[in-house]
Amino acid sequence: MDAPRPIVEVRGIVNRFGSQVVHDGLDMEVRPNEVFGIVGGSGSGKSVLLRTILGLRRPQAGTVRLDGRDISQLSEQELRHVKAGYGVTFQQGALFTSLTVLQNVQLPMIEHLRLPASVRDELAMLKVRLVGLPPEAAQKYPSQLSGGMVKRAALARALALDPRLLFLDEPTSGLDPISAAAFDELLMELQSQLKLTVVMITHDLDTIFRTCNRVGVIVDKKMESDTLDGIVRHQHPWIQAYFHGERARARLGAHGT
């Protein structure tokens, strides 16, 4: 039986800023219905890679295919259609501070769908409840929310168009351990219910061990990918230091690795 086609396929990506090479022939693939974590040191270009995959940055070389389609070869209209098929949360939530939670969640609907306002309201409220926010949160502004609620509101907006593919940039950064664990549990529940494929940049070891099927580590301007059990055995010095440092030992013990 043939393996399913990767939903995200990155081949030979080169990203440079002047003389600084960030990625040099980076390869990555994400399979349907998995949670794929992206890890790397400061300056390794995690967010640059995400922007490249999303079509927000054109690399100097290499290709990005989303669901088998080379995004560099698509017309503006075709790329717009592809973008409607994925959801994104950026670091710090990136909600519009002048809009309520409900209005933030409705933004992708306004951009991509032609719906009466009453239907938009109803659908947006469904998304608010889906991510575990109380109904009264819908009429609040981001400044009136806790950090954990902002993350959930951003997730509701990312799910507005019922995407199959979800990109998360540091989804638990800035959260206390209890709020981070609750977000991870919510993510796993949604991933199972909605059959989502999730690509997540994170430095949170707890999140990695709780949620990821496979992990890609950016080292030496390329990516080393494996299952979670496989990557913790990788002999690269940075990977060893990251997964076997003092704060990682408790997680490795709990994971049985």
Digit-by-digit pLDDT tens for the chain (257 residues) are 567 789 999 999 999 999 999 999 999 999 999 999 999 998 899 999 999 999 889 999 999 999 899 998 888 888 888 888 899 998 766 799 999 999 999 999 998 888 999 999 999 999 999 999 999 999 999 999 998 999 999 999 999 999 999 999 999 998 999 999 999 999 999 999 999 999 999 989 999 999 999 999 999 999 999 999 999 999 999 999 999 876 665 555 555 55
The answer to whether position 4 is within a domain reads no
Can you tell me which residue has the tokens 């503006």? 76
Which of 163, 197, 214 is a domain's end point?
163
Minimal CA–CA distance to 190: which of 137, 151, 136, 135? 151
d(CA 171, CA 148): 10
* Residue 78 maps to a domain: no
The answer for 160, left when phi > 0, alpha when psi is -120 to 50, beta otherwise, is alpha
* Same domain (yes/no): 63, 183: yes
Any domain includes 220: yes
Which residues are CB-neighbours of 71 under 8 A, at least 6 positions away? 55, 64, 65, 79, 82
Q: Is the pTM of this model over 0.85?
A: yes
CATH number at residue 242: 3.40.50.300
One domain, residues 123 and 151: yes
Expressed as residue numbers, the domain containing 118 is: 95-163
155 with 195, same domain: the answer is no
Last residue of a domain, one of 138, 163, 188: 163
Statement to judge: residues 257 and 173 lie in one domain:
yes
54, part of any domain: yes
| C-alpha–C-alpha distance, residues 132 and 100, integer Å | 17
Domain end, chosen from 121, 147, 163, is at: 163
For residue 121, is it within any domain?
yes
Statement to judge: residues 102 and 228 lie in one domain? no
Total domains present in the chain: 2
Q: Residue 147: inside a domain, yes or no? A: yes
Residue 126 lies in a domain: yes
For residue 100, is it within any domain? yes
99 shares a domain with 53: no
Q: Are residues 137 and 53 in the same domain?
A: no
**Which residues does 181 contact at the CB level (< 8 Å), separation at least 6?**
206, 210
